[in-house]
């Protein structure tokens, strides 16, 4: 029978006895801390374990549109268009117009998944779930390379696994997680050269081909990253000669990966390709001559700290009180910290100048910050780190209980009693297992329990909100459209949000084209045999020429504070009914155009 360890705030670690050995109390040491930081699994199994946990948590949400970003429709519509046309080089929007705002790689991922598995929400997201898993493993590999410490590498996975932006990006058919993976690969190569002074072909290929693939995914940020690496190497006090970063075969291959699609588009479509791309990347993105950066850059820097809660609080406290009598931080580790912090600040400055900054823009920095936090936690005072992580675990479990209670109250107010009971049971079971397993039985160390508790909120959210949201997120309306008589191959017109139009295309498995306009136009509507429009606009159609079929597509934009206020007031059902978006499917009588 194996013994377990439990920390005592005054006297160290309690080792429960068994039949062959009496109980004993031993002081906490760095060896104990390192041994107990992660689940006691062989090192090669840890990445596989947490990849499996991530997939298990994401698949329920990836298979529907409970979590959705409007920009997903760019890539799902482009993938459907590629399958239909057979043109796999030119991305197009739903109306068939070429779209050069972003490079080709993300479109290829969606198209390949559709071609292999068919068109539905899960196949739209599956490549991104897998790339999220790859990013998790790559963060483990980077931390291991930088620290030579299996425990710090596993802790980096745990920190990243619980980060909300990382989890959400892995659920969406968008460029963010793909760019993050390639830039993390590039960072792995450059840090191997810079910190570990490796001059291997693998390090150079990772550095430059990773950056090139990042350009082929989203644009110019990887170019800025390569420039930053050279500047950092030239200015850092532990200088590495710039010639160490020169490897012509890898640099040329990375340049070919980055520029190949642009060259093809220039040859096929002319100079407008680069103009549209440059406008999207620079001209329409940056603000000049305003005070926005003065408050937006600090807001992004604060956002790094907030989104890494609760990990960032123990790390900050450990850094503030780190003692030289404890684990000495090597100069290589200090250099890696300077690298990550400098790059994070530069990204904050760049996107602080963006016209409409969004939180997912900074995602490529998140895995690097996760690795740095893991290194700080692992190499700090082991006694203090243990105590702080236990404290933060208690806070996390309390937040899980609070969130679970709110979600259960939502289901109860809407009459979904079985779902409310399920949420309560899941939350209570999660808290009991993690708390007992950490504080009494020794199954988990605090970092593992904390990461699992935070990740578990996503499937719990799915269980709680599925009966409310999913029937209105495109499935039912798409099913209606499939059943209604329509001219073969004729597109339909949708008046409404462009993200909703993307849902309709995917939920109908791409069986019909959906053209979209934001606001109702009777002249445009007259050109289509099938029109989907808000019920308030339906009165403007010729009722004698159309058959009307009522439908629903979810809710208007709901602010979290308004929702919480409605829950507290006990009027959530009435609030949602007031904000429901009601639509009508209008089909021309006889199917004539």
Among residues 440, 442, 345, 454, the alpha carbon closest in space to that of 392 is found at 454
Sheet arrangement for strand 514-517: 514-517, 492-495, 530-534, 580-588, 546-555
Residue 320 makes CB contacts below 8 A (sequence gap 6+) with none
CA dist., res. 234 & res. 313, Å (int) = 33
pLDDT bin (cut points 50, 70, 90) of residue 283 is: low
User: Mean per-residue pLDDT for 332-347?
Assistant: 95
- Paired with 587 in beta bridges are 530, 547
| Contact call for residues 70 and 502 (beta carbons, < 8 A) | yes
Q: Check pLDDT > 50 for residue 405.
A: yes
Interstrand relation of 580-588 and 530-534 (parallel, antiparallel or unpaired): antiparallel
Integer Cα distance of 32 and 15 in angstroms:
11
Q: Is the pLDDT of residue 244 over 50?
A: yes
Lowest mean pLDDT among 63-72, 346-355, 557-566: 557-566
Give the pLDDT score at 19. 37
Q: Give the model's confidence band at 13: pLDDT under 50 very low, under 70 low, under 90 confident, else very high.
A: very low
Contact 206, 185 (CB under 8 A): yes
pLDDT band at 459 (very low <50, low <70, confident <90, very high): very high
Lowest mean pLDDT among 79-88, 264-273, 485-494: 485-494
Q: Which residue has the higher pLDDT, 509 or 591?
A: 509
Query: pLDDT category, 25, cuts 50, 70, 90?
Result: very low
Asked whether the beta carbons of 467 and 416 are under 8 A apart, the reply is yes
For residues 521-539, average pLDDT: 88
Q: Where are the beta strands (DSSP E) in 383-534?
A: 492-495, 514-517, 530-534
Q: Are 525 and 533 in contact (CB under 8 A)?
A: yes
Burial of 382 (0-12, 13-18, 19+ CB in 10 A): buried
Whether 534 shows a pLDDT value over 70: the answer reads yes
Residue 327 reports pLDDT greater than 70: no
pLDDT at 137 (0 to 100): 96
Domain ranges, ordered by start, for the chain: 6-36+381-471, 43-282+290-378, 474-591
CB distance 124 to 113 below 8 Å:
yes
Q: Is the pLDDT of residue 576 over 90?
A: no
Structure tokens at 373: 């936090």
Q: pLDDT tens digits, residue range 499-519?
A: 888 888 888 888 888 888 988
Mean pLDDT of 371-397: 90
CA dist 26 and 15 (Å) reads 7
pLDDT tens profile 204-224: 999 999 999 999 999 899 999
Angle at 582 between CA 81 and CA 521, to 5 degrees: 60
Which helix or strand (DSSP H or E) is residue 178 part of? helix 176-194
pLDDT for residue 289: 64
- Is 22's pLDDT higher than 50? no
- Please calculate the CA angle 113-49-444 and round it to the nearest 5 degrees: 145
Q: Which among 297, 430, 414 has a CA at the least distance from the CA of 361?
A: 297
* Chain centre to alpha carbon of residue 70: 14
Structure tokens at 220: 């110019």
Query: Per residue in 150-172, pLDDT tens?
Result: 889 999 999 999 999 999 999 99
Q: What is the pLDDT of residue 35?
A: 43
What is the distance between the alpha carbons of residues 566 and 578, in angstroms, rounded to a whole number? Answer: 12
pLDDT in tens, 462-478: 999 888 776 555 566 67
Question: What are the strands, taking DSSP E only, across 172-314?
Answer: none
Residue 32: pLDDT above 80? Answer: no
Average pLDDT over the chain reads 85
Tell me the mean pLDDT in the region 88-108: 91
Using DSSP's 3-state secondary structure scheme, residue 8 falls into strand
Q: Answer whether residue 593 shows pLDDT above 80.
A: no
The answer to whether 343 and 229 are in contact (CB under 8 A) is: no
Strands of the sheet containing 6-8, edge to edge, are 6-8, 12-15, 24-26
β-bridge partners, 548: 586
pTM for the model stands at 0.89
Contact 141, 181 (CB under 8 A): no
- The region of weakest confidence among 122-131, 278-287, 471-480 is 471-480
CA dist 44 → 49, 153, 269 (Å): 9, 11, 48
376: its two tokens: 């700080």
Q: Could you give the CA distance from residue 415 to residue 90 in angstroms, rounded to a whole number? A: 49
The sign one gets for the Cα dihedral 31, 32, 33, 35 is positive
DSSP 8-state secondary structure symbol assigned to residue 329: P
Residue pair 141/206 in contact by the 8 Å Cβ criterion: no
Contact 149, 378 (CB under 8 A): yes
Residue 29 pLDDT > 50: no
Q: Which residue has the tokens 């934009």?
A: 557
pLDDT digits (tens, 9 = 90+) for 34-88: 444 444 455 557 788 899 999 999 998 998 888 888 899 999 999 999 998 999 9
């Amino acid at each position: 029978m194996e013994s377990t360890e439990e920390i005592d705030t005054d006297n160290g670690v309690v080792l429960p006895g068994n039949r062959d050995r009496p109980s004993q109390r031993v002081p906490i040491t760095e060896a104990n801390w390192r041994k107990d930081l992660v689940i006691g699994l062989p090192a090669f199994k840890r990445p596989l374990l947490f990849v499996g946990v991530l997939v298990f948590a994401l698949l329920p949400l990836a298979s529907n549109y409970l979590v959705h970003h409007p920009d997903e429709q760019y890539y799902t519509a482009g993938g459907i268009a590629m399958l239909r046309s057979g043109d796999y080089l030119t991305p197009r929007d739903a109306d068939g117009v070429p779209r050069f705002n972003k490079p080709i790689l993300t479109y290829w991922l969606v198209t390949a998944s559709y071609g292999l598995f068919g068109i539905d929400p899960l196949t739209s997201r599956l490549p991104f779930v897998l790339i999220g898993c790859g990013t998790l493993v790559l963060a483990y590999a980077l931390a291991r390379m930088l620290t030579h410490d299996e425990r710090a590498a596993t802790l980096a996975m745990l920190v990243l696994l619980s980060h909300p932006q990382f989890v959400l990006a892995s659920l969406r058919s968008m460029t963010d997680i793909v760019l993050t993976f390639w830039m993390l690969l590039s960072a792995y190569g450059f840090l191997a050269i810079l910190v570990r002074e490796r001059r291997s072909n693998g390090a150079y290929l990772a550095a430059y081909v990773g950056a090139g693939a990042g350009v082929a995914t989203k644009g110019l940020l990887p170019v800025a990253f390569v420039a930053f690496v050279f500047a950092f190497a030239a200015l850092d006090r532990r200088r590495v000669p710039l010639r160490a970063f020169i490897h012509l075969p890898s640099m040329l291959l990375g340049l070919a990966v980055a520029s190949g699609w642009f060259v093809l588009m220039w040859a096929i479509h002319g100079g407008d390709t680069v103009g549209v791309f440059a406008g999207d990347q620079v001209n329409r993105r940056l603000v000049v001559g305003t005070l926005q950066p003065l408050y937006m850059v600090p807001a992004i820097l604060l956002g790094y700290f907030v989104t890494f809660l609760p990990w960032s609080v123990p790390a900050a406290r450990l850094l503030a009180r780190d003692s030289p009598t404890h684990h000495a931080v090597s100069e290589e580790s200090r250099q890696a910290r300077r690298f990550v912090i400098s790059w994070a600040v530069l990204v904050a400055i760049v996107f602080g100048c963006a016209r409409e900054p969004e939180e997912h823009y900074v995602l490529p920095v998140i895995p690097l910050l996760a690795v740095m936090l893991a290194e700080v936690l692992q190499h700090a005072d082991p006694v203090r780190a243990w105590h702080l992580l236990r404290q933060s675990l208690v806070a996390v479990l309390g937040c899980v209980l609070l969130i679970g209670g709110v979600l259960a109250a939502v289901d109860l107010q809407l009459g979904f009693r079985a779902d409310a009971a399920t949420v309560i049971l899941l939350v209570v079971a999660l808290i009991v297992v993690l708390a007992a397993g950490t504080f009494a039985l020794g199954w988990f160390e605090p970092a593992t329990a904390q990461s699992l508790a935070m990740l578990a909120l996503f499937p719990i959210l799915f269980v709680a909100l599925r009966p409310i949201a999913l029937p209105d997120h495109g499935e039912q309306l798409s099913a209606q459209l499939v059943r209604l008589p329509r001219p073969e191959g004729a597109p339909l017109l949708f008046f409404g949000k462009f993200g909703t139009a993307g849902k309709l295309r995917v939920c109908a498995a791409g069986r019909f084209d959906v053209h979209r306009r934001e606001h109702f136009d009777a002249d445009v509507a007259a050109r289509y045999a099938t029109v989907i429009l808000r019920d308030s606009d339906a009165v403007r159609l010729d009722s004698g020429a159309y058959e009307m079929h009522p439908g629903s597509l979810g809710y208007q934009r709901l602010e979290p504070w308004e929702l919480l206020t409605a829950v507290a007031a006990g009027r959530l059902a009435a609030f949602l009914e007031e904000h429901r978006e009601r639509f009508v499917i209008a089909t021309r009588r006889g199917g004539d155009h």
